[in-house]
Structure 1
Amino acid sequence: MVATRITMVTLGVADIAKSRAFYERLGWRASGASNESVVFFHSGGTVLGLFGRESLAEDANVENTQGSFDGVTLATNYNSPEEVDAAFAHAVACGATPTKPPEKVFWGGYSGYYADPDGHLWEVAHNPFMQLDATEHMTLPE
């Protein structure tokens, strides 16, 4: 059987140094394996990578085009709406562009969105139906 897990998310960015500084202001901790061409951040059991957008497109053998929405969002879940509000405010203070302030949402949770310097969308959310475990990983119903 093939393993089903996400081990790394890589974002194609316009300026690696600028993006690294943004994520470090947010509190992400870069790995010693990082260099001027690629940055790796510790994130529990998953790695967040930053790689030049053009280089990432070349590596994937796709055309380097960017629309207003690439159809991908990333998410960080929290234990309460108050934690969501604090995380959202922190991201904006670090230079994120707010796209949707946190609010109660139709599915019964609480969430908002911001964009990083390259427009990658991050959701900050509290999902009362999928709590975080002791290691802050989201628990999913069986």
Structure 2
Amino acid sequence: MAEGKNAVMSIDRRISLITLGVADVARSTAFYERLGWGRSSASQEAITFIQLKGIVLALFSRAALAEDAGVENTPVGFSGITLAHNVSNPEEVDAVVDFAISCGATLVKKPEKVFWGGYSGYFADPDGHLWEVAHNPFAPMDEHGHLALPE
């Protein structure tokens, strides 16, 4: 990194961990385990860690998360954030949404063709966190199952 007052800094393009503030850690952990996402041995009673492909998902008390961040824990409608799970084809979108519903998710938007040329639907986890399940024909998955955007 350059020194001086005109130094330019950049942050590496990655997200290491996403923490969802939840009402009941045990209930939310059980939901994600029903999806087939096992918890890490690093988990504790107050927090669950789930290793995903290239990222970690954490489940932590919403009140404790707000306290940790130093913000007020106020109820909100739409938080302005969705999580996405991309898949290889529209049939897989339907299958993943149906499976999530069978595990206790709530259907928010039935999968359908969307304005940008793909196919997607939305479900909410037990705490209302929105998950989009999408097939994007313009951004295929790489050999590791990661979304591969054009340069």
TM-score tier, shorter chain, comes to over 0.9
User: TM-score normalized by structure 1?
Assistant: 0.98
User: TM-score normalized by structure 2?
Assistant: 0.92
Q: Does 1:87 align with 2:96?
A: yes
Deviations 1:32-75 (A, max 9, x none): 00011000001110100000000000000000012121111000
Q: Give the number of aligned pairs.
A: 142
Query: What pairs with 1:45-60 in structure 2 (closer than 5 Å)?
Result: 45-60=54-69
Aligned-residue Cα RMSD (Å) equals 0.7
Mapped to 2, the partners of 1:101 and 1:24 lie a distance apart of 23
Q: Does 1:29 align with 2:38?
A: yes
1:124 aligns with 133
Mapped to 2, the partners of 1:106 and 1:61 lie a distance apart of 39
Cα deviation for residue 19 of structure 1 reads 0.1
Mapped to 2, the partners of 1:64 and 1:10 lie a distance apart of 15
Q: Does 1:68 align with 2:77?
A: yes
Mapped to 2, the partners of 1:2 and 1:73 lie a distance apart of 22
Percent identical among aligned pairs is 62
Structure 1: stretches of 5+ with no match in the other structure: none
Q: Of the two, which has the highest radius of gyration?
A: 2
2:4 aligns with none
Runs of 4+ in 1 over 3 A off after TM superposition: none
